Structure 1
């Protein structure tokens, strides 16, 4: 079952069960996906967003919630921080399991070997390979420095 179908099914279940917080988050996810569909249609694309792009959208939404929760905590608004964390939990249900640090290190090694990277100039190819193989399964912001260290 593709991600759109899973999200739609969860949305319908939340409506039936009258889970208002969950329903609101699922509607936000749907709106973000539809926004991207409309943007792609404007560029002349025939189809809507695929699973890889949906994963990217969900990843961005989780990052936004993390930053908001941190800001709310610093501002002393723990109630709002808790709401952001609840939204994050709903969004993360649709993301694949995140790789552990050891798995990330192995993935980096495999990507370096697969691309034949030898110097820091090859970092873009390695990151492209990782993004193609592990979309939504690792935080590429923290992986970049690790790749840089391996190639330096």
Structure 2
């Protein structure tokens, strides 16, 4: 089942349950998917990889906003965003544990022959496609930085 099919199914369920929070999040994600289709040309069907990219972008936007709202002391908006993130994470693939991520980073460091922090960009660009949707950039960055001295 594609992401769009799953969103449509869950949207119907949210309507039946009168779950407005989930319904709003699903509608926002569907709008983002539709905007991407429009920007690529209306007769295009998004691949699973493209759908995942859009979903990841939505999660990242909310995490960034969450940090800003926490700094500003806007607890009302923080709670709302945390709820939205929980809903969005239902559609993401299983997230890698810290140990799994470190193992992938170690293997990639060996593959690209990285030896110092100067090679961090090379390692990051090799790791990110491998963990797409399973780990965010900041956690990958921390893992790479911890292994490169």
When normalised by structure 1's length, the TM-score is: 0.81
Unaligned runs of 5+ in 1: none
SS of residue paired to 2:41: helix
Unaligned runs of 5+ in 2: none
The number of residues matched between the two structures is 147
**Superposition RMSD on alpha carbons, in Å?**
2.4
Indicate if the aligned counterparts of 1:111 and 1:129 stay in contact, CA closer than 8 A. Answer: yes
CA distance in 2, matches of 1:68, 1:148: 25
1:49-73 per-residue CA deviation (whole Å, 9 max, x = no partner) reads 2222222222222222222223323
Q: How does 1:10-21 map to 2 (within 5 A)?
A: 10-21=10-21
Q: In structure 2, which of residues 92, 113, 116 is the aligned counterpart of residue 117 of structure 1?
A: 113
Q: How does 1:96-135 map to 2 (within 5 A)?
A: 96-113=93-110, 115-119=111-115, 120-121=118-119, 123-124=121-122, 126-135=123-132
**Alignment match, 1:53:** 50
CA distance in 2, matches of 1:134, 1:83: 28
**Alignment match, 2:144:** 147
Q: For the structure 1 residues 16 and 74, does the alpha-carbon distance in structure 2 shift closer, same or farther, using more than 3 Å as the test?
A: same
Q: For the structure 1 residues 4 and 129, does the alpha-carbon distance in structure 2 shift closer, same or farther, using more than 3 Å as the test?
A: farther
When normalised by structure 2's length, the TM-score is: 0.82
